Amino acid sequence: MRLPAPNAVLGGAIIGVVVVAALLGAVWTPVDPLKINFAARLQPPGGAYLLGTDEFGRDVLSRLMAAAATSVWISLVTVAAAVTGGTIIGLLTGYLRGWTDRILMAFNDALLAFPGILLALGLLAVFGANKYGIILALGLAYTPSVARIVRGTVLSLREREFVEASRVMGNSEIFTVMRHVLPNCIAPLTVLATSMFGWVLLSESALSFLGLGVPPPAPTWGNMLASSRSFIAQAVWLGIFPGLCISLTLLGINLLGDALRDRLDPRMRGV
Amino acid sequence: MDRRELLNVEGLTLTVARTGLDVVRTIGFSVAPGEIVGIVGESGSGKTLAARAVMGLEPPAIRRSAGSIRFEGREVTTMAPGELRQLRGARVGMVFQEPMTSLNPSMLVGRQLDEGLALHTKLAAGERRARALDMLARVGIKDPEGALSSYPHQFSGGMRQRIMLASAMLLQPALLIADEPTTALDAVVQRDVLELMVELTRAHGTAVLMISHDLAMVARYTDRIIVMCKGEVVEEGTTQDLLRQPRHAYTQKLLAAMPRRLLTREVPPAPAPAVEVRDLVVDYAGRQGFMRRQAGKRALHGIDLAIRPREVVALVGGSGSGKTTLGRAIAGLVRPSGGEIRFAGRPVVAGGEGWRDYRLNCQMVFQDPYSSLDPRMTIGALVREPLRLMPGMSGRDKAERVVEVLREVGLSEDYADRYPHELSGGQRQRVAIARAVVRRPSFVIADEPVSALDVTVRAQILDLFAELQHKHGFSCLFISHDLGVVEQVADRVVVMQDGRIVEEGTRDAIFDRPQHAYTRELLSAIPMLESTPGGGVRLRWRLDETSEETAGETGRDTSAAAVALR
C-alpha cells in the first residue's frame, strides 16, 4: 500500500474541517446566527465573539458555521443533479447516436453557449431567488458540460471491443450500457464532479453577492461577503472570514480532486 | 576486429531510472558499413531500446548505466547535445513503425523533407527541392511535384512509409535504423516497401539496423541476425548459419514457433451447412454533416459463403478487402443492407425466431486482447457473463463451468479474482477465448485472434484454439491476414479483395495451386520459414517456381528477385 499523496492529505483535512463545521452548524452554533444584538455591533474578533460581529451584532463564527451547511448542501445537491442529468444525456447521445444525439446535443450546445453564471441569473429570474431556485438554476447551467464529457467518453468506449463483445454475447443494449459503459465513465466523472463542486460554490457565492442568492437573513458565505462590502473600512474581518472560507474550501476540493484523478486514471495505474 | 566497424556497442546496460530495473543488460553488437543487421526479439526484449540508445534517443525514464556506443569511431554516449544532433538525421537515419503518426500531419510533405536537408547541408533551396523530388521519384511516388505540396493524410500507409524512407535517405546516412518498419502495413505493400529499402540503402552503401519480431522477414532481408531475449543478446550470427543451426534454446524455440502446415483434417460430411451467407451486401453510410452529405461506400458486394459443421474456414485478404466487415456482419454487429444469413437452416434476423438461438450459439474472439476485456471486471466475472443468458443453468452450474473453462484454456481458477491489466497479452487472449467458448457455442468467429501476440505466444494460442475446436467441434470463421497462421489452422480458405470473394478452395488447393492473380500476389508477398531436419529452418519463398515465371513480366520484379537470390 502506497502512502497517500500529500495533496490528498491536505485536501482531505481541509474538506474534513468544513464538513464537520457544516454538520455541527446545522445542529449547534455558539450563538443563534440570526440573533440581532445592537449593543454589540461590529465587534472586532477576539473577546466574547471569537470572529467578531456584523453590522447587526450577529456572531460571525455562528453565521459562518450555519452558512457552511447551506453552501455545502447547495453545492452537493447541485453537483449531484448536474452529474446525474448530464450522465443520462451523455449516455443516451453517445450510445444511441443518430437523431437522439443530434437533437439533444444541439440543445446542449445552445445551453453551453451561454456563460454559466448568466444562464443561472436568467433562470433565477424565473424560478425566484431561494435555495431551490439556486440548485435548479445552477444544476441546469452545469448539466451541459457533464453531458459533453460523458458523451465523449461513451463515444470512445462504444468502439472498444469489450462493448462489441457484450453485444455479441446477446446482452441487451441497456445491460451493456449499465454493465460495461457506465462503470468505465466513473473515473472522468469523479474528477469532473470534484472540480464542479468548486465552481458551484463560487457561483453560489457570486449569485448571493449579486443579491440573487439565498435571501437574508439566512446566511451563506456569498451573502455574508456581499453585505460586508459597505463596512469594509470599519470592519474588515466581515469580508475576510467568509472569503477565507470560500478560498480554503476551493483549495481543499481542488487538491482532493487532483489526488482522486491520479488514483482513478487508468493511465496512472499502469498496466 | 579485422574490419572497420561502423557501429560498435559494448557492454550496454539500460536501467529504468526509478526502479533500478535493468531492461537491457550488457549487450554488445556491431554493424559494418553497408551491412544489414536484424535485431529479433519478442516484446519486452529490449530491442527497440537498444536501437534507440544508438542515437541517444532512449526515453527519459531510462538511464544508460554502463557500456559504450561507438559510431564511426566516436563515442556517442559522451557527446555534447550539439554534436549528437549533428549525428542524428545526417549520419544516422530512422524509420519508425507507425507511418500514420511518424509524419507531422499539419506540415506539407515538401517542408518535412526539406527540414533535414536545410539543417544538415549547405545546399540552396532550389537544389534541396531537386534532391527531394529525385528521392520521391526513387521511392516510387508517382507525382513528386504534387507530393511536395500535399499533406501526409492524403497518402496511404504504404505511401507514407515510402515518404518516411525518402526523408531518412535524403541525407544519405551511414546507418539507417528501421524499427518494425512494415509491421503496420499490408502483406503486399510490406514487400514493396522492404525491397525498396534494401535497394536504396544498397545503392548508397548505407548500413541498416532492422528491428523486428517477424523472423521470416528479417531472415529474408538481412546479412546477420542478433537475437535478443529479456534484455540480453542470446545469439548472434550470419543469417544463414543462424537459421540452419540455431544454438541457443531461445532461438530454437522462436524458430519452432513458426506456423506450419499440419495434416489435412477430415471434416465429416454434413447434410446442411452450419452457417450460410447468401448474397450479403453491406453499405457504410456516408458522413452526414450539417450542410453536406458524403456518399456511402459499399463494403461487401454480394457474398456467398457456407461453413459446414466442425469446419474451420479462413478469410484472408489485405486491409480494406472487407474481411473484417464480413465477420462483423455475420456476428450481427453490422446490419447488412441486403442478402441473408442462415444458421441451422433458419434465417437470422434481429428479433426473428432464429435470432436468439443464433446469439447463444455464435461467439466471437477479437483481435486486441487489451481492449476486448472490460478493465473493471475480474476474469471470473468476464468469463461468467455470457452464461447470464443461458436458460436453465443454476448458479452453481455456472460457477463450475467457469472453473472448467478456465482450466481448458490453461489458466487455473486462481485467475478468477484477477483483473485484466494484471495479465499478459497471451493470458488475456486465453480469457477472451474462454469467454467465447464458455457457452459451448457451435460457431465461433475469430477476428485476427493472434495478430497482436508474440511469436511464441501465438503458437501456444493457436495450439489451444485447435485443441478446443477439436474437443468441442465448433465451426469457425477465422479471419487473418497472416497466411502462415491460416495455413496451419484452416480447412478451407476464402480469399477476399475489394469486398468480393475472388477465390475459395481447400487449404491445399489455395496454397499449392492458387488460380486468381490476387491470391498469387498475396502468397508471394511473404516469405516463410520451413523447418528442416536438425532443428533449423530454411527460408522458402512461396510459389517459388511460379515467381520466376512472373519475374520476367515486369522489370521491377526482376530486380527484386535478384536481391532475393543474393
Query: Cβ separation of A161 and B366 shorter than 8 Å?
Result: yes
Query: What pLDDT, on a 0 to 100 scale, did the predictor assign at position A117?
Result: 81
Q: How far apart are CA B524 and CA B335, in angstroms?
A: 35
DSSP-derived 3-state class of residue B455: helix
Give the contacts of A176 (CB within 8 A, at least 6 positions apart): A163, A166, A167
Q: Work out the average pLDDT over B149-159.
A: 84
Q: How far apart are CA B196 and CA B193, in angstroms?
A: 5
CB B139, CB B195: distance < 8 Å: no
Query: Cβ separation of B359 and A170 shorter than 8 Å?
Result: yes
Query: Cβ separation of B363 and A171 shorter than 8 Å?
Result: no
CB A168, CB A161: distance < 8 Å: no
Give the contacts of B398 (CB within 8 A, at least 6 positions apart): B384, B387, B390
Decide which of 3.30.70.890, 3.40.50.300, 3.60.15.10, 3.40.630.10 is the CATH code for B275-525. Answer: 3.40.50.300
- For B407-420, the pLDDT digits (tens) are 999 888 888 888 88
CA angle A90, A96, A101 (to 5 degrees): 60
Mutate to test the interface with B, among A109, A166, A168 (most CBs of B within 10 A): A168
Smallest Cβ distance to B372: which of A161, A170, A271? Answer: A161
* pLDDT above 80 for B346: yes
Domains and CATH numbers, chain A: 6-19+59-228+235-269 (1.10.3720.10)
Q: How far apart are CA B68 and CA B256, in angstroms?
A: 34
Q: Classify domain B32-48+80-256 at the CATH superfamily level.
A: P-loop containing nucleotide triphosphate hydrolases (3.40.50.300)
CA atoms within 13 A on the CB side of B131: 22
* pLDDT above 60 for A190: yes
CA angle A137, A140, A141 (to 5 degrees): 85
Mutate to test the interface with B, among A161, A172, A189, A271 (most CBs of B within 10 A): A161
Q: How far is A154 from chain B (nearest CA, A)?
A: 14
Q: Which three cell numbers stand for residue A34?
A: 440570526
Please indicate if any CB of chain A lies within 8 Å of the CB of B428.
no
Please indicate if any CB of chain A lies within 8 Å of the CB of B200.
no
- For B42-66, the pLDDT digits (tens) are 877 888 888 888 888 888 888 888 8
* pLDDT above 90 for B87: no
Residue whose C-alpha cell reads 442568492 in the numeric block: A213
* pLDDT above 90 for B207: yes
Please indicate if any CB of chain A lies within 8 Å of the CB of B538.
no
Q: How far is A167 from chain B (nearest CA, A)?
A: 7
* pLDDT above 90 for B403: yes
Query: Cβ separation of A168 and B435 shorter than 8 Å?
Result: no
- For B355-401, the pLDDT digits (tens) are 888 888 889 998 888 888 988 888 999 999 999 888 888 889 999 99
Please indicate if any CB of chain A lies within 8 Å of the CB of B335.
no
Residues of chain A in Cβ contact (below 8 Å) with chain B: 160-162, 164-171, 179-180, 183-184, 266, 269, 271
Question: What pTM did the predictor assign?
Answer: 0.79
Query: Cβ separation of A170 and B360 shorter than 8 Å?
Result: yes
Please indicate if any CB of chain A lies within 8 Å of the CB of B308.
no
Query: What pLDDT, on a 0 to 100 scale, did the predictor assign at position B566?
Result: 37
Q: How far is B251 from chain A (nearest CA, A)?
A: 28
Mutate to test the interface with A, among B374, B382, B419 (most CBs of A within 10 A): B374
B492 pLDDT band, cuts 50/70/90, is: very high
SS3 content of chain A, % helix, strand, coil (to 5): 75, 0, 25
Q: How far apart are CA A68 and CA A62, in angstroms?
A: 10
* pLDDT above 80 for B319: no
Smallest Cβ distance to A169: which of B367, B385, B432? Answer: B385
Percent of chain A predicted with pLDDT > 90: 10
- Angle between helix axes B455-472 and B249-256 (nearest 10 degrees) is 50
- For A109-146, the pLDDT digits (tens) are 888 888 878 888 888 888 777 788 888 888 988 899 89
CATH 3.40.50.300 positions along chain B are 32-48+80-256, 275-525
Q: How far is A259 from chain B (nearest CA, A)?
A: 20
Q: How far apart are CA A257 and CA A88, in angstroms?
A: 22
From edge to edge, which strands make up the β-sheet containing B297-307? B297-307, B275-284, B338-343, B346-347
- Where b means 16+ CB within 10 Å and e means fewer, B257-283 reads bbbebeeeeebeeeeebbbbbeebbbb
CA atoms within 13 A on the CB side of B272: 9
Strand B312-316 vs strand B475-479: parallel, antiparallel, or unpaired? parallel
Question: What are the backbone dihedrals phi and psi of residue B499, each rounded to the nearest 5 degrees, phi first?
Answer: 80, 10
Please indicate if any CB of chain A lies within 8 Å of the CB of B329.
no
Please indicate if any CB of chain A lies within 8 Å of the CB of B373.
yes
Mean pLDDT of chain A: 83
Which residue spans within B308-386 are E strands per DSSP?
A: 312-316, 338-343, 346-347, 362-365
DSSP-derived 3-state class of residue B370: coil
Residue whose C-alpha cell reads 459597505 in the numeric block: A230
Q: Which three cell numbers stand for residue A206?
A: 457570486
Q: How far apart are CA B223 and CA B233, in angstroms?
A: 17
**CA B91 distance to own-chain centroid:** 29
Query: Cβ separation of B371 and A171 shorter than 8 Å?
Result: no
Q: How far is B362 from chain A (nearest CA, A)?
A: 8
